[in-house]
């Protein structure tokens, strides 16, 4: 594709939760100078002109932005389909009605488990009841509802009950997404990576639910990269279909790419179209010319594009290496050892989850 169809607008990295699997940057202070309302309006207009059709408003917690309604209205007026990706803390009926009037099209609410105490422990704060109440408001106001659950060693055994919860709240779609090991999740990998037995049991449950619910609810299930024979085609290929704008205006091909040693590109310094077409952060791994072997000579090179550049860098220190998830990668033993350790340890031996520190105010507030 010559232009992106999706924009992930990360409005803030502030968040009332303290999830131990958070993949947002560790260096929060670098993103405290958030784009102002008028800057987001310009970014949205430039994104529309570039070909973007979908705008996902995320964070952190986007509801912490006092101008969220204005940003939604601006995206709606531009003809963009808008999706709010939220923990739902702060989604009061009054706020929800304002967002509905502004033209918000869809709401995705995250929840950590099906049972209040477990969910609150993983989230690092009491939030379960407020999430359920907010989901009720979403349904009452007529929005499509997606329930997102990040799965890991601490909650994957509850996947049947999680699916039952999604049914109970009337979700149109449920995303069961196994943890991606970036940011804070990398620090907690040993406590989060599930065992093979856990995954196999979960897949049986999910397969049956898909069949039973096929006419009522979409069930999306993403297995952990570490258990795949081949890597996933991250974001449909590097800077091929989507782009991310971070709270301070940096532009990235995916949310995790801020960790890579690539030149910075910012909407505060250049138009979005120029960044998309020519900035090194966008062109570095676009297509297949950059690939080393075994990717260069692999028949799958235009299917998985060498896998995830951020994961390759996280595991090897070189973003141009073949994703170690791939069984053909010369670095695959790095993943194999982590999987072996996850299957060797008993649940009683699991390391304690280290919650991410809370941050709900911008620096200077």
Per-residue pLDDT of the chain (365 residues; tens, 9 = 90+): 588 999 999 999 999 999 999 988 878 778 889 999 999 999 999 999 999 999 999 999 999 999 999 999 999 999 999 999 999 999 999 999 999 999 999 999 999 999 999 999 999 999 999 999 999 999 999 999 999 999 999 999 999 999 999 999 999 999 999 999 988 899 999 999 999 999 999 999 999 999 999 999 999 998 888 999 999 887 788 999 999 999 999 999 999 998 899 999 999 999 999 999 999 999 999 999 999 999 999 999 999 998 999 999 999 999 999 999 999 999 999 999 999 999 998 877 777 888 777 666 543 34
Would the annotation count 22 as a binding residue?
A: yes
CA 261 from chain center: how many Å? Answer: 21
Q: pTM of the prediction?
A: 0.94
Note whether 10 and 242 are within 8 A (CB). no
Are 168 and 140 in contact, with CB atoms under 8 Å apart?
no
**Which residues neighbour 171 within 8 Å (Cβ) at sequence distance 6 or greater?**
135, 145, 146, 147, 217
Question: Residues 318-340: pLDDT tens digits?
Answer: 999 999 999 999 999 999 999 99
pLDDT value at position 320? 95
Angstrom distance (rounded) from CA 301 to CA 307:
9
What pLDDT is attached to residue 222? 87
User: For residues 213 and 205, is the Cβ–Cβ distance under 8 A?
Assistant: no
Residue 146 β-bridge partners: 108, 173
pLDDT tens profile 279-289? 999 999 999 99
Please, which residues bridge with residue 175 across strands?
148, 220
**How far are the Cα atoms of 19, 38, 58, 225, 318 from residue 239, in angstroms, in the given order?**
28, 26, 19, 20, 19
List helix spans (H) across the chain: 37-50, 68-77, 93-102, 116-123, 128-140, 159-168, 183-187, 189-192, 196-212, 272-278, 280-283, 301-304, 309-316, 332-344
Alpha helices in 169-308 (DSSP H): 183-187, 189-192, 196-212, 272-278, 280-283, 301-304
pLDDT of residue 365: 41
Query: 88's torsion region: left (phi>0), alpha (psi -120 to 50) or beta?
Result: left
> What confidence score (pLDDT) does residue 24 get?
86
Closest residue by Cα to residue 2 from 251, 237, 233: 237
pLDDT, residue 363, reads 39
CA dist 103 and 97 (Å) reads: 10
- Cα 143 from Cα 83, distance rounded (Å): 10
């Amino acid at each position: 594709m010559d232009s992106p169809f999706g924009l992930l607008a990360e409005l803030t990295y502030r968040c009332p939760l303290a999830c131990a699997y958070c993949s947002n940057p560790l260096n929060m202070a670098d993103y405290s100078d958030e784009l102002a309302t008028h800057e987001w309006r310009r970014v949205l207009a430039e994104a529309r002109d570039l070909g973007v059709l979908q705008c996902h408003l995320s964070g952190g917690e986007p509801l912490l932005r006092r101008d969220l309604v204005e940003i939604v209205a601006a995206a709606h007026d531009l003809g963009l389909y808008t999706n709010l990706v939220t923990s739902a803390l702060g989604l009061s009926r009054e706020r929800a009605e304002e967002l509905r009037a502004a033209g918000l099209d869809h709401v995705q609410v995250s929840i950590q488990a099906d049972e209040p105490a477990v969910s609150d422990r993983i989230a690092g704060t009491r939030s379960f009841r407020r999430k359920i109440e907010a989901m009720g408001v979403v349904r009452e106001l007529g929005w499509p509802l997606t329930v997102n659950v990040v799965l890991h060693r601490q909650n994957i055994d509850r996947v049947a009950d999680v699916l039952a919860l999604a049914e109970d709240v009337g979700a149109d779609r449920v995303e069961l997404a196994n943890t991606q090991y970036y940011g804070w999740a990398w620090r907690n990998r040993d406590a989060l990576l599930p065992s093979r037995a856990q995954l196999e049991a979960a897949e049986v449950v999910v397969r049956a639910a898909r069949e039973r619910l096929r006419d009522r609810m979409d069930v999306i299930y993403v297995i952990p990269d570490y258990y795949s024979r081949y890597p996933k085609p991250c974001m449909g290929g590097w800077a091929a279909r989507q782009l991310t704008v971070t709270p301070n205006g940096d532009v990235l091909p995916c949310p995790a790419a801020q960790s890579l040693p690539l030149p910075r590109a910012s909407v505060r310094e250049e138009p979005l179209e120029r960044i998309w077409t020519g900035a090194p952060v966008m062109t570095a791994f676009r297509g297949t010319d950059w690939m080393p072997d075994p990717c260069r000579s692999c028949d799958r090179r235009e299917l998985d594009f060498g896998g995830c550049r951020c994961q390759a860098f996280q595991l090897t220190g070189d973003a141009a290496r073949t994703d170690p998830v791939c069984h053909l990668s010369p670095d695959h033993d790095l993943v194999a050892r982590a999987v072996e350790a996850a299957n060797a340890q008993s649940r009683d031996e699991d390391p304690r989850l280290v919650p991410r520190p809370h941050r709900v105010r911008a620096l200077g507030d």
